[in-house]
Chain A
Amino acid sequence: MSDQEVILRALELVRRRLRLSRALRDAAIVSAMVAVVLVLWRVLFLFPGRAALAAAAVLAALLLLVAGLLLLVRSALVARCTLGGAAALADARAGLTDELQSAHWFLQHPTPSPWVEAQVAHAARSARRLKPAALFPLRFGGRGLIAASAAPLMIVAAWLVPPLAPPSDAAVAGLPEAQASQVRVLRELADQVRDETTARKLREAIAAVENRDATTAERQRALAEAQRTLEQQDLQAASAREGLYRLADKLRGQQRLEDVAKALEEGDAARAAKLVRGMASAPGAEGQEGDASVEGRRDERDLERLLDVVARGQGSEQSEASSAAAKETVDRLKEIAQQLDTQERLSQSVRALQQLQLMVAQRSPLAAGRFGQQAAQNSTPAPQTGQTNMPGGMMFRTTAVARETTPSEQQEGSKTGSALGDSRADSVLGAKATSLEVQLKQEAVPDRPRQDDRAGAGWFYTESRQQAATVGFEEVRAPAQSALGQSAALDAVSIRHRRMVKDYFTATRQDTTQ
């Protein structure tokens, strides 16, 4: 092998090595660029509400990727590895001080000179000792190594934390996931509930929450409206349950209606309706339209009367009236059964609404860091509650307050609960006011129905116990404006006290049993 061949072969080996090394580096850089784009995509996936921004960012990322690839291609073309370039690099790495480069040039430009021949011969000896693998180890290089190690890390981080999940409808609307789940519950309920007013209120509340242009006050108002409607539904269901129980109590003496009474006592309105339908479909009884006199009577006294008619109509001439009453009774019982069925979902929805109210008040999806900074919008600004307006700072209560052990007249804002001072004060009821719960018991819970109820009341109108109780709790609404301040709507009972009212009605049956 001539000196020329030796030199060219060595330079070719070096060039291959350089190409491989460059390909590795380019691959690392391209993978890093792809990883950056994927991570960007994943990050945008977390904020799906900003569709325009996401589209622009994705477009920019893709353009960046394309530009980067073009630059890589261009640099690969410009920095095309020639044999002369390979010789220069080999000289630099092997400390040959331009020997191979000069020899390669002399080979390209032959000059009849003994000096040139001597130089080429000397360079060939150096080329034989050259070890391209040792001179050019396959490394990524600084940037390539960083890119190669960063790319998988970024991809893993993007795909595992947090895990991939398709965006929900609410998320598409730009809501945080916590709010989105609550909105989902409310939307399901709005689709299922039959009462149009309740459904409309729920949809309005959902629209207010999802509307990014809505103010916090508007959202709070809509949520409060929806919650009041739901609680009304809840109260009606509780009242219906209570009415069924009392009706069962009354029917217990009648032998024909014993099974119906038992079903009503168990709160199983569906079974009661089935039993009534069975009684009405007995021989001699034919279904007819109910007369106008019984339409619209929607309390347990109507049901009692209707059941009485159904019981008395068994096998007698009054079959027409009996069958009409039976039909209405069945319809009424079905309606009650549906109310009871939705009661459980209603309470779940109320909780969702309360969570939403809290989030809207905080203007943040329950970020922990916001708790210490938020100004509780519904609380009364007062030193006792820790909600004093202190620009630039937050007042922390350091004085320990003793917990009351004996009942005493509440002073305005003085009852703080926990000694740590982190409890909210009770609503202001006034110095002379007794507690709301006591008033409800006094005014809205007659222990037993009066004996002259049935005799004195007209059959077309009888005040139900539920109606009486509602009037009662409206009368004892907290008079102080500070209590109203805790409610989201100005004309409503405090949110905290609504639970008391509801608990009262749901516990009525238990009290009656005792």
Chain B
Amino acid sequence: MTIAVERQVTVFQDNFRLVRDEVSRVIVGNRDNIVGIMTCLLARGHVLLEGIPGIGKTKLVQTLADVLHLKFSRIQFTPDLMPGDIVGTTIVRETDAGKKFLEFQPGPIFANLVLADEINRATPKTQSALLEAMQENSVSAGGQTHALQQPFFVLATMNPLEMEGTYLLPEAQLDRFFFKLKLGFPSADELNEILERTTKTHEPQVERVLGPGQILEMRETVRSVPVAGPIQDYAIRLTLATHPESELASDMTKRYVRFGSSPRGTQALILGAKVNALINDRLYVSAEDIRAVSVNALRHRLLLNFDAEAEGVNTDLILEDILGRMRPPSG
């Protein structure tokens, strides 16, 4: 039985490595973000990518879709985008006999991998069209609920610079993203590599190394990883420490945080830690795994107050402070 588990872990790691290496053939650097996206995919979550324009957000998602052999659709969010443009609409069709009937025409959300590009440019009404799909993996339209094909994975991108003509994402929708990943600007070497790969005659091509069935198996593997009580307690304490009214809250939390993380944040911590444990060849979750995913999992779930905005304090700083002060599990 132990051998079976270890074999399962080995398969998981091999598949994970395959995807990561294949994506890295096109995407320069950003290995942490590739791992983060994969973590969200395997933990049945969705990811919000934040980065300046031209940094390769869309390219990353497209490459991932190519590698994973999944049905990919891209939705470019604009202010005039309507919910029906995302989920689909019911149209009147006519049979050969001349009988008319209503037929649901699925929108672009009916795919395995959905890229919601510049999600903050659509109105909140349109943004909320994603809510049900992301949480329930289903779409209700025309009085009918349509299940989404698994794996269903939403990758939304957001530009942090251009705020004009944008709509901030509702808290409820932000909370539905498993991770929020920030894509940093590439270094000089990475820029050089990007130029090498993209300005020549032949651009690197990727192969499809993983299918939906393998991804679902990997998801099952992730869920099987056990978590000991002290480690789970550590994740809970970490979540509670983001709440200013909690006894575990640090001074920084009390001063700058208006609302702390939701229970989804704790779920994200545990599930992300499980993936991280498997990646690092562990059959159990450690506090180290919790710490490794905590910033990505909680940074978009903390609502800061005016003092934090005035003083330029962001959620990453607060989470680093909490992690530094948090007592490790001690049996």
**Chain A positions near chain B (C-beta within 8 angstroms):** 82-89, 92, 97-99, 101-106, 109, 111, 113-119, 121-122
Contact = CB atoms under 8 A, between A and B. Distances in A.
A89 B329 CA distance: 10
A86 B330 CA distance: 8
Contact of A116 (B226, B286, B329): B226
Nearest to B331: A84
Contacts of B5: 114-115, 117-118
Contact of B226 (A83, A87, A101, A113): A113
B6 to A, nearest CB: 6
Given A105-B228, A106-B226, A114-B2, 6 more contacts: A84-B330, A97-B286, A98-B286, A101-B331, A102-B284, A106-B284
6 contacts: A101-B329, A105-B229, A114-B1, A116-B226, A117-B5, A119-B284
A98 B229 CA distance: 11
A73 B226 CA distance: 38
Given A82-B331, A86-B331, A98-B329, A105 B282 contact: no
B92 interface: no
A435 to B, nearest CB: 86
B160 interface: no
A118 B286 contact: no
A102 B282 CA distance: 11
B284 A87 contact: no
Interface string B319-331: 0000000001111
B235 to A, nearest CB: 12
B184 interface: no
Nearest to A89: B330
Contacts of B79: none
B172 interface: no
B229 A115 contact: no
B97 interface: no
Q: Interface SS of chain A: helix, strand, loop or mixed? A: helix
A102 B228 contact: yes
Given A98-B231, A102-B231, A118-B5, A88 B328 contact: yes
B4 interface: yes
Contacts of A121: 2
Interface residues of B, number: 23
B1 to A, nearest CB: 4
A111 B329 CA distance: 20
Nearest to A86: B331
Interface string B146-165: 00000000000000000000
A118 B2 contact: yes
A97 B282 contact: yes
B224 interface: yes
Contacts of A117: 1-2, 5
B288 interface: yes
A249 B126 CA distance: 143
Nearest to A83: B331
B287 to A, nearest CB: 6
Contacts of A104: 331
User: 7 closest pairs, A vs B, by CB?
Assistant: A84-B331, A102-B228, A98-B286, A105-B228, A118-B5, A97-B286, A118-B2
B283 interface: yes
Contacts of B331: 82-88, 101, 104-105
A103 B2 CA distance: 14
B62 to A, nearest CB: 35
A83 B231 CA distance: 16
A47 to B, nearest CB: 46
B229 A109 contact: yes
B53 interface: no
Given A102-B284, A119-B284, A84 B226 contact: no
